[in-house]
Structure 1
Amino acid sequence: MYSTRISRRVRAPRAAVYRALLDADSVATWRAPEGMSAEVHAFDGRQGGRFRVSLIYEAPTGTGKSGGRTDTYHGHFERLVPDEQVVEVVEFETADPTMRGVMTMTTTLSDVDGGTEIVMVHDGVPDAVPVADNELGTRMSLDNLARLVEDGH
């Protein structure tokens, strides 16, 4: 298992970014990297609240961790600090033992000139997930999040 750390600056206040992290419709919009779509099955954006999300490859050749073209994960919000931090504990739904294990995603928000810096740290990522894929997918998701909050939706 390994960890990654990706950051992105956005031209939006921390409060707007924080809301987008905890809103099911927003998550369905920003969480999926390019070439994928997201389906939010369950989502309770409170501390201790549970969620279940599927990321679906759009290309018929995409291979998902959960089977078919789908990566499904579930988890809960371990810690919420309003407008500052979201800690999610997640696990892939998969029969593949190399993809199993609990991961922690910590998203920290801080003020920067003209907006917010978002730092997303993934801890406990299964070794079977290529580091480059995790980093690229996270960057794409954060780009989507930036577009969402900078457009004011």
Structure 2
Amino acid sequence: MTRTDRVSRWIDASRAAVYGALVDRGSLEAWLPPEGMRGRIERWDPRPGGGFRLVLDYLDARGGPGKTSAGTDVVDVAFAELTPPRLVVQRVVFEAEDPAYAGTMTMTWECAERAGGTEVTVTASDVPPGIDRADHEAGIASSLAHLAAYVEGRGQGASPLGP
């Protein structure tokens, strides 16, 4: 059975600014890692059919929460659709030996103009069963909070997680 997780957040920034942060390498590295993680992009090809490889390191790897290794999640992300300034669709594959993380998850980032800002809705479909729903939704919400801080100018040019 497939699972879909969905999280939304209103951001006090233009739709163009939000979309730009969704498709810019440096911006993604700054805001995308959820709380408790640091990330780096190893490969970058920002076009439909292109994508990127993201390495996420846990700041505290006690208990071995990582999917790729005890302290790391590695994902290959393909851009399935880029429709400025409203939609980014990604196909995400985890690098993991555990079959509970197998398969391709689709992440749809939709940007809708709302009341002087932008509502960003992230819909993750075909979520691998090894990913806990509450943890996943909390991670998406954390990334959206970092995105908001980044595009609202509180974190522009620097990681919202600090140095």
CA distance in 2, matches of 1:59, 1:85: 33
SS in 1 for 2:68: coil
| 3-state SS in 2 of match to 1:125 | coil
Equivalent positions of 1:114-133 (< 5 A) are: 114-133=116-135
What is the aligned length? 153
- TM, length-normalised to structure 1: 0.96
* 1-structure distance, mates of 2:16, 2:46: 15
Equivalent position amino acid for 1:80 in 2: L
Amino acid at match of 2:143: S
**CA deviation digits over 1:15-61, x for unaligned, max 9?**
00111001111111111111110111112221111210011100131
* Separation of aligned partners in 1, 2:21 and 2:101: 27
Greater alpha carbon shift after TM alignment, 40-49 vs 70-79: 40-49
**Could you tell me which amino acid in structure 1 is paired with residue 31 of structure 2?**
W
Q: Which amino acid aligns with 1:15?
A: A
Cα distance in structure 2, aligned partners of 1:13 and 1:83: 10
Instruction: State percent identity of aligned pairs.
Output: 41
Aligned to 2:150: 148
Tell me the C-alpha RMSD between the 2 structures.
Answer: 1.1
SS of 2:130's equivalent? coil
1:84 maps to what in 2?
A: 86
Name the structure 2 match of 1:45: 46
Task: Determine if contact 2:23/2:46 at 8 Å carries over to the other structure.
Answer: yes
Residue 127 of structure 1: CA displacement?
Answer: 1.2
C-alpha displacement at 1:10, in angstroms? 0.4
| Whole-angstrom CA distance in 1 between matches of 2:132 and 2:42 | 26
Match in the other structure for 1:25: 26
Aligned partner letter, 1:52: R
The normalised TM-score by structure 2 is: 0.91
Q: Which amino acid aligns with 1:86?
A: V
Q: Which runs of 5+ in 1 are unaligned?
A: none
Q: Which residue number in structure 1 is paired with residue 58 of structure 2?
A: 57
Which residue matches 1:96? 98
Distance across 2 between alignment mates of 1:109 and 1:140: 17
Partner Cα separation in structure 1 for residue 117 and residue 45 of structure 2? 27
- Structure 2's unaligned 5+ residue stretches are 157-163
Q: Is the 8 A contact 2:54 2:77 kept in 1?
A: no
Task: Give the 4+ runs in structure 1 shifted more than 3 A.
Answer: none
